[in-house]
Amino acid sequence: MQGNLGTRIAQIIPTLLLVSVLVFCLQQLMPGDPAMVLAGEERGDPQVLAQIRAELWLDRSLPVQYFHWMGNVLRGDLGYSWRTRQPVSALIATKLPVTLQLGTMAFVFAVAIGVPAGIVAAVQRNKFWDYLANAIGLAGLSTPTFWLGIMMILLISVDLGWLPPSGYVPLTEDWRQSLATTIMPAFVLGNAIAAILMRHTRAAMLTALDQDYVRTARAKGLSESSVILRHALRNALIPVVTLGALELGTLLSGAVLTEQVFSIPGFGKMIVDAVFNRDYPVVQGVVLVTAFLYVMLNLLADILYVVINPRLRGS
Amino acid sequence: MLRRLLLALCLLATLPAAGHAQTLRIALREDADLLDPTLARTYVGRIVFAGLCDKLFDLNEKLEIVPQLATGYEWADPVTLVIHLRQGVTFHDGEILDAAAVKYTFERALTLPGSFRRSEISSLDHVEIVDAATVKIVLKSPSSPFLSQLTDRAGMILPPKATEAAGKDFAQHPVCSGPFKFVERVAQDRVVLDRFPGYWDAANIHFDRVIYQPMPESSVLLANLRSGTIDLAERVLPTDVAQVKDDPKLRIVTSPALGYEAITFNLGNGDRAKTPIGQNKLLRQAFEAAIDRQAVVDVVFNGMYKPNAQAVSPASPFYIESMPPPPRDLAKAKALIKQSGVPTPIVVQMNVPNTPDRAQEAEVIQAMAQEAGFDVKINLIEFAASLQAATRGEFEAYLIGWSGRADPDGNMFAFLTTGAGQNDGHYSNAVVDAALTDARKSIDLAGRRAHYETALHQLRDDLPLIYLESPVNIVGMSARLTGFRPVPDGMIRLQGLAVAK
């Protein structure tokens, strides 16, 4: 096991290097000259453009640019935003907690809605509640985040005036305002995942409920709730948990849209703005940090698997 | 039950939200760039500066140049401008604003690496300090647009000590002399400014704090405006105006903008210029005759923009009234095509930045031009990519706008003279070059107008650009706000702005 873990850790560095090369090259494929974007309305002045290119090393060859950037990254310097001159590491440090809060809340929503709905649908198989849960699940899956977000803003913020339509307040500053600004986006973001979780919970529960041990539990005279929750659900949850972990990726990409709709200054919004502004250091920094988080989460999942399933320990 | 629970949750969460009566929240359509007047480039950045940094001069509603940090000026001769400074003005850090600060600011603009003001004040030769409250600006050659540059970022005076001390980081903590001082900036989220108690015109400032929030998505902006989360929004879309007007809590204020929307043709920039429409002015004239500008404005811009065939807005004193936009004339268009001898359909590839309004505008033009015999192929591309394509000559026609400048020179010289920086189509005409250069040197209004009229006659014949319409600044705001001054430059001046009692 330790050797296995060692291999996994050793794989992290080449993976991240590969990601860094990929993101660097992909950016070069994007049409649009960053110097021209930065020059804004002064783009017509060749002197201005030359000055920007020289300052940002854009007049050097690609490998030189890459190694210059990578060298700084290895020293812990992710560079600074071309547009605002703020250090990329500082930008990431302020944006990451925002998206983590949004993502966590969305995941809580998804689990709180998806798992119970899946259980009810399985227990009430082919009855009214099953159909209803399926219909809602299908609707959740097929509703575009963008549309749902705008509709909720119009209904809850504009017409009813219950919640602020957009923006963000950090938890540490004012937890109530923070919740007020993140409830709606978290719900929108969690909605699609709730639907996926519901459908998988239902399927897994149906399989579990057909198993012999459930029949045995019932034969022993256990209460129905005990049979469903303690016996069937615990077993059904294993694939659901795996799926939930995979859906964390969906969560991060969904955050891009949700943050745009609700004007939340998080990771997703930062990368979208950076791409449009051709703010390469920000794009590179964000992608690299995201890749690092992913790799670490994967590693954590691998370790947890071994912890949960003793049969894997020998391999 | 669920509804009640949700309501309770929402109410609990919003409890402390009410009661910031003295804070003004302004929505911007983009995030500002560097908050350093010498290095800044964006339009929205200028809106933030309107709260942060006073300028030597300002513009009024009639586009006249009025004093701000200056009290007056005179031309000692055609290349010597004497500016008298307002006395008793201090910067946010307490430093005194005097002639030395003015000299420092201009020299910084000319020498700082990355300065975007250098090209704006390139005619400046040197600055002399006459006394603490008087500076003499000596130009290399006469330049009538120079003064109007001082109504914008080039005229924002910086404190020498604080600016030097901050060095490259000045933009992170800008210090100026405007009505509000910098507090904090969270990228993509907000710029917060607090009232500067030492402001020279403090009696005209009625808010304690102003927060600028970028909201690029128009539906989000509208929702925020309607829910009262923001007090004022710049550049509301024409198509959203009806919704704002329907809301009794809101109102719309408009002013003619300084910019234009136009189709630029590639006449000589690389191989893509070698198209019938790029080489034959009769076809460009036919293309123009096929366009119904009023219909474009009605369909795409809700009837709010003004059809125009000139580079300056109808509100400008340099607008030539005798040359209004011609009406659509399909028969003329067809006759011109026939005269050119080019067989129809004539294919025109048009690059269009992929914003909804521009895409729609392109489609309307496509339909109109088709009736005359043009086959317009719309190439929707992302904005940054479209700019690069334009500079490289990778276009035949390009539907694009310009935010505009108070002085007509800013709308024409760089776009129309031979070899100029933004002359993407590489148009070149000796008459236009001479007229626009002479207009720069001429100081009196009538003389300058005559030069612009000469240029316009030539431009109407050559049509390197087909000007389509002049936009309108549309500001949506809470109906309780009073004292807003709609100046054509679109800036949000905080002086006089207040909440009605």
Residues B267-291 pLDDT 10s: 999 999 999 999 999 999 999 999 9
Strands B209-214 and B23-28: parallel
Closest-approach residue (CA) in chain B for A158: B227
B13·A179 Cβ contact <8 A: yes
pLDDT surpassing 70 at residue B62: yes
Task: Give the number of beta-carbon pairs within 8 Å between A and B.
Answer: 165
Contact A100, A266 (CB under 8 A): no
A52·B114 Cβ contact <8 A: yes
Identity of the residue in A30, A39, A176 whose CB atom sits nearest the CB atom of B13: A176
Strands B465-470 and B260-265: antiparallel
Name, in order, each residue with C-beta under 8 angstroms of B165's C-beta and a sequence gap of 6 or more: none
Name, in order, each residue with C-beta under 8 angstroms of A152's C-beta and a sequence gap of 6 or more: A184, A187, A188
Handedness of CA A114, A115, A117, A122 (dihedral sign): positive
pLDDT surpassing 50 at residue B262: yes
The conformation of residue B96, written as its DSSP 8-state character, comes to B
Closest-approach residue (CA) in chain B for A180: B13
Contact A145, A189 (CB under 8 A): yes
B-chain residues near A33 (CB < 8 A): 384, 387-388, 391
pLDDT surpassing 70 at residue B126: yes
The edge-to-edge listing of strands for the beta sheet with B346-353 is: B306-307, B465-470, B260-265, B397-402, B346-353, B374-381
B207-246 burial code (b ≥16 CB/10 A, e <16) = beebbbbbbbbbbbbbbbbbbbbbbbbbbbbbebbeebee
pLDDT of residue A41: 64
B220·A263 Cβ contact <8 A: yes
pLDDT of residue A3: 63
CB pairs under 8 A, 24+ apart, for A229-232?
A232/A205, A232/A208
Contact A107, A251 (CB under 8 A): yes
Backbone angles phi, psi at B49, to 5 degrees: -60, -30
Tens-digit pLDDT profile for residues B190-227: 999 999 999 999 999 999 999 999 988 888 888 889 88
B382·A32 Cβ contact <8 A: yes
Identity of the residue in A33, A46, A262 whose CB atom sits nearest the CB atom of B421: A46
A-chain residues near B381 (CB < 8 A): 31
pLDDT of residue B168: 80
| Full DSSP string of A170-190 | -TTT-HHHHHHHHHHHHHHHH
d(Cα B154, Cα B106) in Å, to the nearest integer?
8
Identity of the residue in A40, A168, A278 whose CB atom sits nearest the CB atom of B42: A40
CA A309 from centroid of its chain's CA atoms:
26
Identity of the residue in A40, A81, A167 whose CB atom sits nearest the CB atom of B213: A167
Tens-digit pLDDT profile for residues A134-191: 888 888 888 888 888 888 888 888 888 888 888 888 888 888 888 888 999 999 988 8
| Residue bearing tokens 């003619």 | B256
Identity of the residue in B11, B34, B226 whose CB atom sits nearest the CB atom of A85: B34
More confident residue, B50 or A119: B50
d(Cα B302, Cα A106) in Å, to the nearest integer?
39
CA distance A279 to chain B (A): 11
A-chain residues near B149 (CB < 8 A): none
Q: Which two tokens stand for residue B387?
A: 């700019």
B213·A263 Cβ contact <8 A: yes
Please tell me if residue A89 touches chain B, with a CB cutoff of 8 Å.
no
Radius of gyration, CA atoms only, chain B: 24
B33·A32 Cβ contact <8 A: no
B387·A183 Cβ contact <8 A: no
CB pairs under 8 A, 24+ apart, for A152-160?
A152/A184, A152/A187, A152/A188, A153/A184, A153/A261, A153/A262, A153/B219, A153/B220, A153/B223, A154/B223, A156/A184, A156/B10, A157/A184, A157/B223, A157/B227, A157/B229, A158/B223, A158/B226, A158/B227
First to last CA, chain A: 6
A-chain residues near B403 (CB < 8 A): 41
| Residue bearing tokens 């006459």 | B130
B-chain residues near A97 (CB < 8 A): none
pLDDT surpassing 90 at residue B99: yes
Tell the burial category of A308 from Cβ atoms under 10 Å away from its Cβ (0-12, 13-18, 19+): exposed
Tell the burial category of A126 from Cβ atoms under 10 Å away from its Cβ (0-12, 13-18, 19+): exposed
More confident residue, B418 or A158: B418
Across A227-251, average pLDDT: 75
Q: Which two tokens stand for residue A263?
A: 């004007």
Backbone angles phi, psi at B138, to 5 degrees: -105, 125
Q: Which two tokens stand for residue A205?
A: 């529960």
Q: Which two tokens stand for residue A303?
A: 């370790």
Identity of the residue in B17, B169, B226 whose CB atom sits nearest the CB atom of A180: B17
Radius of gyration, CA atoms only, chain A: 24
A-chain residues near B217 (CB < 8 A): 260-261, 263
The amino acid occupying position B132 is A
Model confidence band, residue B470 (pLDDT cutoffs 50, 70, 90)? very high
pLDDT above 70 covers what percent of chain B? 96
- What is the pLDDT of chain A when averaged over all its residues? 83
More confident residue, A124 or A248: A124
Most confident range (mean pLDDT) of A194-208, A243-257, B196-210 is: B196-210
Q: Which two tokens stand for residue A278?
A: 């051709």
Most confident range (mean pLDDT) of A117-131, A239-253, B58-72 is: B58-72
Identity of the residue in A45, A84, A263 whose CB atom sits nearest the CB atom of B215: A263
Handedness of CA B441, B445, B450, B451 (dihedral sign): positive
Identity of the residue in B119, B216, B384 whose CB atom sits nearest the CB atom of A42: B119
pLDDT of residue A305: 67
At B9, which helix (H) or strand (E)? helix B2-14
Q: Which residues 146-185 of chain A have a CB within 8 Å of chain B? A: 150, 153-154, 156-158, 161-168, 174, 176-177, 179-180, 183
The amino acid occupying position B247 is D
| Residue bearing tokens 């207009």 | B439
Backbone angles phi, psi at B393, to 5 degrees: 80, 20
Across A286-293, average pLDDT: 86
The conformation of residue B191, written as its DSSP 8-state character, comes to E
First to last CA, chain B: 40
- Which of A92-101, A226-235, B122-131 has the least mean pLDDT? A226-235
Identity of the residue in B15, B228, B381 whose CB atom sits nearest the CB atom of A176: B15
d(Cα B354, Cα B380) in Å, to the nearest integer?
5
pLDDT of residue B20: 43
A-chain residues near B224 (CB < 8 A): 165-166, 263
CB atoms within 10 A of CB B21: 9
Most confident range (mean pLDDT) of A141-145, A241-245, B469-473 is: B469-473
Q: Which residues 43-62 of chain A have a CB within 8 Å of chain B? A: 43-48, 51-52, 55
At B379, which helix (H) or strand (E)? strand B374-381
Q: Which two tokens stand for residue B83?
A: 């500016």
- Which of A288-292, B56-60, B137-141 has the least mean pLDDT? A288-292
Alpha helices in chain A (DSSP H): 2-29, 34-39, 46-55, 62-74, 88-123, 128-142, 145-152, 175-209, 212-219, 224-226, 233-261, 267-276, 280-308
pLDDT surpassing 60 at residue B4: no
d(Cα B247, Cα B235) in Å, to the nearest integer?
18
At B180, which helix (H) or strand (E)? strand B180-186
Strands B346-353 and B397-402: parallel
pLDDT surpassing 50 at residue B14: no
CA distance B475 to chain A (A): 19
Please tell me if residue A91 touches chain B, with a CB cutoff of 8 Å.
yes
- What is the pLDDT of chain B when averaged over all its residues? 91
pLDDT surpassing 90 at residue B15: no
A-chain residues near B118 (CB < 8 A): 47-48
pLDDT surpassing 60 at residue B84: yes
CA distance A301 to chain B (A): 33
Contact B85, B71 (CB under 8 A): yes
pLDDT of residue A168: 85
pLDDT of residue B3: 53
At B279, which helix (H) or strand (E)? helix B276-279
- Which of A82-86, A280-284, B212-216 has the least mean pLDDT? A82-86
Please tell me if residue A302 touches chain B, with a CB cutoff of 8 Å.
no
d(Cα B442, Cα B448) in Å, to the nearest integer?
6
- Mutating which of A43, A188, A271, A286 best tests the B interface, going by the most B Cβ atoms within 10 A? A43
Q: Which two tokens stand for residue B425?
A: 């189509």
Tell the burial category of B322 from Cβ atoms under 10 Å away from its Cβ (0-12, 13-18, 19+): exposed
Contact A28, B380 (CB under 8 A): no
